[in-house]
Amino acid sequence: KLILATQLLLKVMSKTGELNDAEAEYLISGRSSMNPPPWTAKVQEFLTAKQWANACALKEIDVYKNITEDLELATDAWSEWLEYERPEVEELPGEWDKRLNPFQKLLILRALRQDRVTTALTAFITEKLGQRYTQQEPFDMDDTFNDSSSKQPLFFVLFPGVDPGVAIERLGAKLGFTQDKGNYVSISMGQGQEKNAENTIDRFSRDGGWVFLQNIHLMSTWLPTLDRKLEIVAEGGHEDFRAFLSAEPPPMLLEHEMQTVPEGVLQASIKVANEPPTDLKATLRGSYALFDQETLDRSTKPKAHRPIIFTLAFFHSLVLGRRKFGFQGFSRNYPFNNGDITVCADVLHNYVEGRDNLPWEDLKYIWGEIMYGGHITDSWDRRCMSAYLEVLLVDELVDEKSDFELAPGFRPLLEGDFVAYRAYIEDAMPSESPVLFGLHPNAEIG
């Protein structure tokens, strides 16, 4: 989404005459000089060879023609600026802050602090075009379902950490399609499930019902049969029939050779790509959206239940967000998903309602060792998971007199309804930084 928003921004700025072509090219390519001139020992103390080569390429643009000389002369000022945790919100050294416009300042970051470009670019797009172009709204199954019909299946592209099954079951319960009533069937596709899937499609297309066929990419030889079945349903199926399909995308390098899903299925379906966001705020927004006001109202102990539910959503967001740091996040790529957080919420409800005291140790063990920990195979990753819970699940979390913080600059909200908590995420969440994950500010440099 950020790439598309950036393309749109550059097009708008080009139309209004605000864009210099050379500057736009540098932002996109981030060129480095192939043969940078020698650099002084002073500069070597705070710049890498890559940063120096980037600066030498940047000076080819007229407004930056003195950048390398200034780096050599004002070493203390530039060294201090480069050490800032969030340099994009700090003033540039010397006259550069007054000389450059906001877009041109992005190029300084592109050359010298590439780890902060995404955050700075997001803020710039928000200022120029509006928040709707950068803010990823939580996935809404209700809106998606309204676009479907008995003739158009919903095809979910699977991404790590995203499981559409929970949202489908929740919507089905609301609309009267459940496994208990016999009008909703979920089938995890694999060897021997072909006949079961065909019979279910035939029955529901005749009588009405929902069928969810998971991981259909595993059944490449059977998919032409599915394609034909869906064509027949489209010609005269029951109006209450719905087919939900899910499949993983093929590896990017092999996507042309591995088109396992027939073109007819893809063309007839509404494609849903609920790709998980990469920033913590959007991830927390989506994690908390897995609950609703009914989830909060179920508890008879709201003063404890509501802040812990919010903390659970924050913990889930931290776990998912660590992926973007590669091996600094976790040593392996674990399949944490929405089912983990929703089951943990049910466990929380049962334990809080059934005990007089808050069962912190029980929650830490069930969440960290069983639910989330059940995915983990590396002892150091398990230790990291346990450390998060040791910090987050403490008595101070529900103590209004405490100055406890979930992360630096982000305190828990102790009371309020579902809407208030969602608004709190938008208003109180600090700017994106590795520090929010408990990592060093330089963790994004890689």
In this predicted structure, what is the pLDDT of residue 135? 78
Whether pLDDT at 159 is above 70: yes
Distance CA 318, CA 267 (A): 36
> Does residue 238 contact residue 201 with C-beta atoms inside 8 Å?
no
- What percent of the chain has a predicted confidence (pLDDT) above 90? 64
- The answer on pLDDT for 372 being more than 90 is yes
Give the mean pLDDT of the chain. 90
Question: 380-387 — which CB contacts under 8 Å span 24+ positions?
Answer: 380/331, 381/330, 381/331, 381/332, 381/334, 384/330, 385/319, 387/438
- The band of 318, judged by pLDDT with boundaries at 50, 70 and 90, is very high
Identify the pLDDT of residue 326. Answer: 86
Amino acid type, 398: V
Average pLDDT for 15-44: 90
Q: What's residue 240's pLDDT?
A: 93
Give the pLDDT score at 315.
97
Q: How far is CA 199 from the centre of its chain?
A: 37
Give 416's pLDDT tier (boundaries 50, 70, 90): very high
pLDDT of 314 > 80? The answer is yes
Per-residue pLDDT band for 6 (boundaries 50, 70, 90) equals very high
Task: State residue 19 phi and psi, 5-degree precision.
Answer: -110, 130
- 420's CB contacts (< 8 A; 6+ apart) are 413
Task: Count Cβ neighbours within 10 Å for each residue of 408-443 and write b for 16 or more, e otherwise.
Answer: eebebbbebebeebbebbeeebebbbbbbbeeeeeb
pLDDT band at 252; cut points 50, 70, 90: low
List of residues 6+ apart from 12 with CB closer than 8 A: 128, 129
Position 254 confidence tier, pLDDT thresholds 50, 70, 90: very low
**Confidence band, pLDDT 50/70/90 cuts, at residue 407:** very high
Cβ of 335: how many Cβ atoms within 10 Å? 10
Give the mean pLDDT of 70-74: 92
Among residues of the chain, what percentage have pLDDT more than 70? 98
pLDDT at residue 14 is higher than 80 = yes
Mean pLDDT of 159-180: 87
pLDDT at 253 (0 to 100): 45
Asked whether the beta carbons of 103 and 13 are under 8 A apart, the reply is yes
pLDDT-derived band of residue 251, with 50, 70 and 90 as boundaries?
Answer: low
Q: What is the mean pLDDT of residues 9-23?
A: 92
